[in-house]
Structure formats: C-alpha cells, structure tokens
Amino acid sequence: MQNMDKEKYEIIPIGITKEGKWLLYTGKIEDLDSKWTQFSIECFISPDRTKKALVKIKNNEATFIDIDVVFPVLHGLNGEDGTVQGLLELSNIPYVGCGVLSSAICMDKAFAKKLALLEGIPQGHFLVVYKNEYLAKKDYFIRRIESEFSYPVFVKPANSGSSVGISKAKDREDLVLAIHEAFLYDTKILIEQAINAREIECAVLGNDEVFVSEPGEIIPSREFYSYEAKYVDDLSELIIPARLPKEVTEEIKDLAARIYKIFECCGMARVDFFVDKDTNKVYFNEVNTIPGFTNISMYPKLMEFSGIPYSQLIDKLISLAIEKNEQKKSIKYSKEG
C-alpha cells in the first residue's frame, strides 16, 4: 500500500482476524501494522454479482462500497488455497493472482507433486500419507518409509504455508515425532527425500504470456528454510541473482515457465526449486501462488532485479487481474447457469 500510486488508486484496506472476522481499516496506512483492529469497521464482500462491492456494517446499517479489483496478500489456508478466490469469482470481482483451480492445486503439495509427476517434471521421491490410514497401521508406514527412503527425510503437511509444520527427520525417533507434528496441521502429509541442495526461487508474472525473472537463492539461517528461519531469526540471506552456471539458470527459467502453464497459473506465482550441490541437477519443489510481498520477500526483489520496480509490478498485477476478468466476459454460460 505504501508503494501504490495514491493519485491512481483509492485504497480500501481489509483485514481478516484469526477468528475470521472481516474488518475495513480506517486509520493511516503507516499505523496499519499496530493499530488495524483499533480503527476498523465490520465488513464483508457481497456475493451479489450485480453489486461488485464491499458491504460495510456500522450502527446496524449496511453501506455498499464499489470495488474495481481485489489484491489478496493472504498466505496459506483460507487465502491462498482457492477459497477467497472462489468468493471473488461468485462476486464477479476481479482479483490479482491465480484462479480457484490453480490456487487449490498449488496449495495442496500432494496434488501438485502428482501433477508434476504426470507431466515429467523432475522432482525428488515423495510419499503421500493420510492420517486415518497411518493411525490404523503406524508400523507399516514407518517400515515402508524406511524401505523407500534413506534418512534424512522431510515431513510436511500437504496444505500449509510459510513452512509451518515441516520437520527434518534424521532417524526413526525424529520421523515419528515429525509425522505427529505434521498431522497437527493437516490430515494428509508428505514424506520427501532430503536432497543435499541449494534452495532456488524464480518469480513468474503474466497471464497468457509470461515473464520469468532471474533465479535467486535462499541461504537459510537454520538447517533448512523453516518458519523460524523466515520470520524469527532475520538472518537468512537472499542472493540475487543465484550464482549458477548459465545452462542451469536457463533450465530453471524454462521449467518455471512450463510449471506455471501446467498448473494454469495467472497473474503471478513463485516457483521454487532445489539444485543438487554436487551434480547441479534441478528438482521441482513447489509453487506459491501468493508469494510474499514484505520487505524481505524474494518475489518483488527478483522482479526488481529483472527490471520491474515494485510500484510498476503492482500496476502490472492489477492490470492482469482486470484483463483476466474481461476475458471471462466472453464465455457463454449454459442455460442451466
């Protein structure tokens, strides 16, 4: 919001509490971080397609505020997984970023990896485990994991964000604890073979035609890029551009564009990879359909290095959202619709 052209845009800040209440912030943008719940009015998006509006509730009276486009900066469940996108589709309001299907698939790491596997995208070995099946046959799954994988392995919830619930297991005791931790956040988890690799990220922008940034590298402050390494330590390092051989850089950029298209992304996404430290082999990791936009985030930094400054990036994303919505107007709905 601080980087948006105030003469071009009328900014309507909406926050959602952890309990799920939608609040319209009425204070100063520079005070938003600390005071957003203090200067807020209850609101919600109208599902009425003819309104395309925010409904503000004050003194038990409803007021409609017209909305031209929504810019979601929500991470993880109930924000990046297609749910908010579905609400905005019902409301016929243009929004920045990927649609319902691609948002849902990219959030669900199990489905994303299965789709990548079908399309021949190189990735590490993985196994999907469901909670009810694991609880019924714990010994079987531990034996199976140890027969298919070698330690260390990563254990992560299938649907999560910001590395929440992810653990690195180096032996059976670690594995059991890691599985328990991951199941606290989802009923479906992933077991992934750990790779002695560098963590490389690539920013992608566009709808039908895509622009791919130069890759960047994460040097985590901890053993891997955990939640603490991202948000607590403040010691992780971003290297832009990633110091890679030219052919590896080109392979990553080509794969990023290909994966973006396979998952039917639009607007923006960050595609993450592993590069083996010994062989330089490239492995697909995951897609983030709403990448971070903070001052430490890789996506805007990558775009800026690749020639698109922050404020220009915001303009482009808003234009892409409106363009995507305009394309839908040409679709002929069935009589049943």
- CB-CB neighbours of 177 under 10 Å: 13
Could you give the 3-state DSSP secondary structure of residue 327?
A: helix
Q: Cα torsion at 89, 291, 251, 253 (round to 10°)?
A: 70
Q: Find the farthest-apart pair of alpha carbons in the chain and give their distance in angstroms, rounded.
A: 65
Which residues belong to CATH 3.30.1490.20 in the chain? 125-193
pLDDT confidence of residue 16: 92
Instruction: Name the CATH topology of 125-193.
Output: Dna Ligase; domain 1 (3.30.1490)
Which residues belong to CATH 3.30.470.20 in the chain? 103-109+115-120+196-327
Angstrom distance (rounded) from CA 160 to CA 109? 9
The CATH H-level (homologous superfamily) assignment of domain 103-109+115-120+196-327 is ATP-grasp fold, B domain (3.30.470.20)
Q: Each residue's pLDDT tens digit in the chain (337 positions)?
A: 888 999 999 999 999 998 999 999 999 888 888 888 888 999 999 999 999 999 999 988 999 999 999 999 998 888 999 999 999 999 999 999 999 999 999 999 999 999 999 999 999 999 999 999 999 999 999 999 999 999 999 999 999 766 789 999 999 999 999 999 999 999 999 999 999 999 999 999 999 999 999 999 999 766 655 555 555 556 678 999 999 999 999 999 999 999 999 999 999 999 999 999 999 999 999 999 999 887 678 999 999 999 999 999 999 999 999 999 998 877 766 555 5
Angstrom distance (rounded) from CA 69 to CA 50? 15
Order of strands, sheet of 14-16, starting from the edge strand that comes earlier in the sequence: 14-16, 22-25, 40-45, 53-58, 61-66
Residue 131: exposure state from Cβ atoms within 10 A (0-12, 13-18, ≥19) = middle
Identify each DSSP E strand in 114-236 by its residue range. Answer: 126-130, 153-157, 167-169, 188-193, 197-206, 210-212, 216-219
User: Which distant-in-sequence residues (6+ apart) come within 8 Å of 19 by Cβ?
Assistant: none
- CA–chain centroid gap for 230, Å, is 14
| Cβ atoms 218, 203 nearer than 8 A | no
Backbone dihedral region of 328: left (phi > 0), alpha (psi from -120 to 50 degrees) or beta?
A: alpha
